Structure 1
Amino acid sequence: MKKVFSNSIFRWALVILAVFSSGGSFAQTKLRFEISYPASISSAPLTGRMFLIISRKDSTEPRLQVGRYGTQFWGADFEKLASGKTVTIDGSTLGYPINALKDVPKGEYFVQAVLNKYTEFKRSDGHTVWMHMDQWEGQQWTRSPGNVYSEVRKITIDPAKSETVKLEVTKVIPPISVPADTKWVKRIKIQSQKLTKFWGHPIYIGATILLPKGYDDEPGRMYPTVYQQGHFSIAPPFRFAENPANEFYKDWTADDAPRFIAVTLQHPSPYFDDSYAVNSANNGPYGDAIHEELIPEIEKKFRCIRESYARLLTGGSTGGWESFALQVWYPDFYGGTWSFAPDPLDFWNVEGIDIYKDKNAFYKEYEWYKVPTPNTRIPATGETRLTSEQRNTMELVNGTKGRSGGQLDVWSSVFGPVGADGYFKPLFDKKTGVIDPSVAQYWKEHYDLRYYLEKNWATVGPKLVGKLHVICGRMDDFFLNFGVYKMEEFLSKTTSPAYGGSFTYGDRGGHSWRPYSNGELLKIMDAHIKKMAPAKSTTSKAN
């Protein structure tokens, strides 16, 4: 019995040794993919990130199926890669949703590779970083002009086999096609001198302008402006389409519709499709660029009323946070905001993560057990759709050093400090989830909007009376309603002065919940302007 027991221990020791020597896996795969580009793509070495995408279907190209709930992909950084040289994707490369190549089920797949080019930025703060330069596509490597992709191949993948699959990226994504101006829709794109100086590279910002009915017929008439914030888009505000069947077209062109100039702003950064419209240590002076370069250009070219009461804000999600933040930080410039499902107005719940109390971004820790932190839920049932660890793994596969173009990374780039390597100092480790309390404190002191208002209400509050309106579903997909609750909790108790705004909730509403249409929103804004306008104003001419 003693001998059998000793043999058992010996055998288990061998198993454990094998596990550790193989990197924690019982069965490593010898399957590998080698990806290169030809000399016709570039005569100089390239730096960037190479992606391998596989899909079970080819209704669209595999690269266009990548997403939060999309198809399987892997990514690997490369530096100064010459033509003909290869980037390897193998069993050690992190993937998403399946992390390891060895765990991909044997079968037939459609395979494609994409080369995402990085640009060297020698910033004015002394740091040199390599990032993807947005090409007016909104920081999407799957369709960014200048990126290079391979033909789609149908192959059998069997992780149990020792095989090398060679792919070559040869097809260059063409430039974005920007629609021509029309009677209704105009566009502006300028090089920002402020941002160009910060990044050491030309940086562009722009706007899409929707003109009101009768604009050309009344050359002396001035109009209030509504700025709709949100993710990068060159589409017109409020999804306006020059089609009589379009619902908002009917609202916008109706004889009794309030007359506004509506504007969406484009301000992608090397970190994200949107800069969050504020000055930040990692992205640079986007707030200054928008308010000192872009909006003055808009107001010079179009007949906008250049007074605060006639500049209104709105937006949802990212745009919800931006519209609220701009109203708070530029209280004398804007006359009111209607912010829908805003990103965290208070950081005690950042897509499930309490940055002030949690020690780890991937799980909640109680006395005897740990529970995975949910990141996304299904509003109808409350079921978890993604955990925080899954969401962050997806971003890490999209890009290291915060270059994923993902939501958690962009918050770190906007809200966080610069790290020693020139990229942002992360709130938490993307691999382990461990939170850095010093970074959490930086977030709080610089960008926690509820905390800012609490500290400064005596001075900023009088400038915000009647201007703050927040709309949110109580079952927001990303738990954004909890930050809204914190903000309402504070604002509802304000005195000297009372905030005088509103909070509107949908009891079972998810992230896209809206209590009224865009046409109805403009009527609410119109009434607000007439209420807030000074006695001797241009409102009578405008509306």
Structure 2
Amino acid sequence: MKKTYLLIVLFLIFGFHSNAQIFEVSFASSLIKEDFSGNVLLYLSKDNKSPKDIFVGLELTPVYRVVVNNLKANEIAVFKDDAVSYPVELSNIERGEYYVQAVFDLNLGDANIGSSSGNMYSEPIKINLTKDFNKVFKIKADKVIKPIKFNETEFLKEVSVKSNLLSKFHKKDMFINAAVSLPKEYYNQPNKEYPVIFSIFGFGANYKLHSGRSAFLEQLEEESTIVVYLDGNCSEGHSTYANSDVNGPWGDALVKELIPVLKQKYRTNGAFLLHGHSSGGWTTLWLQINYPKTFAGAWSSAPDQVDFRNYQNVNIYEADNIFYNDKGNMLPLFTIAGRIPVINAKDFYKTENVIYRGSQIHSFDAVFGGYDKDGNRIRLVDIATGEINKDALALWKRYDISILLRENWANLKDDLQGKIRISVGNSDNIFLNRSVQLLEKEMKPLNTNIVFSYVPGDHFTIFTDEYKKDGMQFLIKCYKNWLIKNK
């Protein structure tokens, strides 16, 4: 009787899927001459007609990954139930019609795998997943993602500087890129020099697509500016121009290699100001604090977590888990107006576990984390359980801006007084306002003179004309202070 019962249980568990759902993916011989080794990704979506272009973590659609070695053109990479998967194995996803695409990741330096230059991909096709698990779907990559073209004009120039610092770190040629927007009178006044505003985009943005569109940075009252749109993209996500154990010395490369080239090529007067939003907002603070003599002022908008006692609404120094609270309830990561949960942390992290690089959480891990003695990456969160890795905390503390300012203000105050403004929406979607509030509480007893501003809106709706005007007025004040000191 017991044996019969066991057989029934085993049948219920395994019998329905004796044949797993299979996708066979290959690439055309015309794309690359050498064999391919690396990660191959399979994207499925019921709604997005170009599934490789999903916003990872915010579009929770099925994604899968396998690793191949020395795969030749037209040979097959097999996706079945042992692929790294989200949300479930291929055989267990909801049946129905899907758009599907495959991407071979060459990891040539861009962040987002689905749009990284040089990656091989298949055109999206529509399939119908039924209960016929014997059906094999064949996908062929026959396209290569082209680099985004930079549209240079008389007043918009691209700068690309080979970084000796980054090249030495990564043991390959590495470049720092930016777009330079020149004032309209630049060529008519050949002896005039200009202040520079560095504009730093948030996660996922690209200077080639966005440069030249934000006119509000072009004037410091009557003074025209040169605007430099920095490129924060790197293979792990956003470099944030922080010197990092994983990404390398991006901050030093900017200050010691790119800025000297800008001074040489363009008529700058030596005043360098900073503005950025989201990850760019965090970058703005980091650069101002770590290179206080280089930069004359920083307006940080909705920066990523500035105090890790509120990292996605979790105190990483005290909490044990980032997926669940003490009552076992799932923790939200993305909300509507900071109140209504939309995406929980577990789903966000699990999706990124498939998209193994270039996504938001992996980007944080690369900037703040590091390696153990065996060369393995030290990550903050155990992807299987959500448990916080206490061994990672010492590494992360190095990048906790609140700790950095609290412990070093006595040495920094002479160079930082009056140079920092932080503005954020009261209803930020990822709780960034709460992190800013923690920082403000710590800064008041130190009389840091950091300006904190909280405005109506969330992470994406705060950029009103008044918001921009207030931020620019602060940079104008910083510039005037610079002029007084440098007359």
Q: TM-score normalized by structure 1?
A: 0.82
Question: Contact 2:20/2:90 (CA < 8 Å) preserved in 1?
Answer: no
- Tell me the residue number matched to 2:413: 461
1:486 aligns with 2:438: yes
* 1:518 Cα deviation from its structure 2 partner: 4.0
- 1:449-479 deviation line (CA, Å, top 9, x unaligned): 1111111111112221111110011221111
C-alpha distance in 2 between matches for 1:75 and 1:170: 19
Change in 2 beyond 3 A, CA 1:254/1:360: closer
- 1:48-94 deviation line (CA, Å, top 9, x unaligned): 21122233357x43323453333432222222222232222112334
- Tell me the residue number matched to 1:438: 391
- 1:296-355 deviation line (CA, Å, top 9, x unaligned): 10111111122xxx2111101101101011111111111111101101111112223321
C-alpha distance in 1 between matches for 2:186 and 2:276: 24
Q: How does 1:62-461 map to 2 (within 5 A)?
A: 62-65=51-54, 67-70=56-59, 71-96=61-86, 98-117=87-106, 132-134=107-109, 138-180=110-152, 182-231=153-202, 232-235=205-208, 240-241=212-213, 248-249=214-215, 257-272=222-237, 274-306=238-270, 310-365=271-326, 369-379=327-337, 382-399=339-356, 404-420=357-373, 422-444=375-397, 446-461=398-413
* 1:385 Cα deviation from its structure 2 partner: 1.1
CA RMSD, 1 decimal: 2.6
Change in 2 beyond 3 A, CA 1:463/1:255: closer
C-alpha distance in 2 between matches for 1:236 and 1:523: 27
Correspondence for 1:522 among 445, 469, 472:
472
- 1:167-211 deviation line (CA, Å, top 9, x unaligned): 22122222321212x232111012111111111111111111111
- 1:221-264 deviation line (CA, Å, top 9, x unaligned): 11111111124522487x534xxxxxx54x57789653111111
Larger Rg: 1
Q: What is the DSSP-based 3-state SS (H/G/I as helix, E as strand, rest coil) of the residue aligned with 1:364?
A: coil
- Tell me the residue number matched to 1:122: none
Which has the higher mean CA deviation after the structures are superposed, 434-443 or 72-81?
72-81
Question: Contact 1:471/1:514 (CA < 8 Å) preserved in 2?
Answer: no
Question: Contact 1:341/1:511 (CA < 8 Å) preserved in 2?
Answer: no
- Tell me the residue number matched to 2:427: 475
Structure 2 counterpart of 1:233, which letter?
Answer: N
* 1:397 Cα deviation from its structure 2 partner: 1.1
C-alpha distance in 1 between matches for 2:218 and 2:289: 32
Q: What is the DSSP-based 3-state SS (H/G/I as helix, E as strand, rest coil) of the residue aligned with 1:142?
A: helix
C-alpha distance in 2 between matches for 1:299 and 1:183: 19
* 1:153 Cα deviation from its structure 2 partner: 2.8
* 1:109 Cα deviation from its structure 2 partner: 2.7
Correspondence for 1:53 among 26, 39, 43:
43
Question: Contact 1:352/1:388 (CA < 8 Å) preserved in 2?
Answer: no
* 1:13 Cα deviation from its structure 2 partner: 5.2
C-alpha distance in 1 between matches for 2:226 and 2:301: 20
Which has the higher mean CA deviation after the structures are superposed, 431-440 or 285-294?
431-440
C-alpha distance in 1 between matches for 2:284 and 2:89: 41
Aligned length: 483
* 1:106 Cα deviation from its structure 2 partner: 2.6
C-alpha distance in 2 between matches for 1:28 and 1:484: 53
C-alpha distance in 2 between matches for 1:264 and 1:26: 55
* 1:269 Cα deviation from its structure 2 partner: 2.6
Change in 2 beyond 3 A, CA 1:151/1:229: closer
Unaligned runs of 5+ in 2: none
Unaligned runs of 5+ in 1: 1-6, 118-131, 242-247, 538-543
* 1:531 Cα deviation from its structure 2 partner: 3.5
Change in 2 beyond 3 A, CA 1:358/1:17: farther
C-alpha distance in 1 between matches for 2:486 and 2:54: 55
Change in 2 beyond 3 A, CA 1:202/1:523: same
Q: What is the DSSP-based 3-state SS (H/G/I as helix, E as strand, rest coil) of the residue aligned with 2:442?
A: helix
C-alpha distance in 2 between matches for 1:317 and 1:452: 19
- 1:268-287 deviation line (CA, Å, top 9, x unaligned): 33312x21101111111111
* 1:418 Cα deviation from its structure 2 partner: 1.4
Which has the higher mean CA deviation after the structures are superposed, 459-468 or 144-153?
144-153
- Tell me the residue number matched to 1:125: none
Change in 2 beyond 3 A, CA 1:298/1:34: same
Q: Identity over aligned residues, as a percent?
A: 27
Q: What is the DSSP-based 3-state SS (H/G/I as helix, E as strand, rest coil) of the residue aligned with 2:370?
A: coil
- Tell me the residue number matched to 2:451: 502
C-alpha distance in 2 between matches for 1:280 and 1:304: 29
Question: Contact 1:258/1:526 (CA < 8 Å) preserved in 2?
Answer: no
Change in 2 beyond 3 A, CA 1:373/1:28: farther
Structure 1 counterpart of 2:99, which letter?
Answer: F
Question: Contact 1:30/1:159 (CA < 8 Å) preserved in 2?
Answer: no
Structure 2 counterpart of 1:62, which letter?
Answer: P
C-alpha distance in 1 between matches for 2:383 and 2:321: 10
Structure 2 counterpart of 1:513, which letter?
Answer: I
Change in 2 beyond 3 A, CA 1:213/1:170: closer
Q: TM-score normalized by structure 2?
A: 0.91
Which has the higher mean CA deviation after the structures are superposed, 217-226 or 289-298?
217-226
Structure 1 counterpart of 2:145, which letter?
Answer: I
C-alpha distance in 2 between matches for 1:512 and 1:405: 25
Q: What is the DSSP-based 3-state SS (H/G/I as helix, E as strand, rest coil) of the residue aligned with 1:451?
A: helix
Change in 2 beyond 3 A, CA 1:423/1:195: farther
C-alpha distance in 1 between matches for 2:127 and 2:26: 18
- 1:14-34 deviation line (CA, Å, top 9, x unaligned): 565567x75xx9756622111
C-alpha distance in 2 between matches for 1:229 and 1:69: 22
Q: What is the DSSP-based 3-state SS (H/G/I as helix, E as strand, rest coil) of the residue aligned with 1:95?
A: strand
Change in 2 beyond 3 A, CA 1:12/1:230: farther
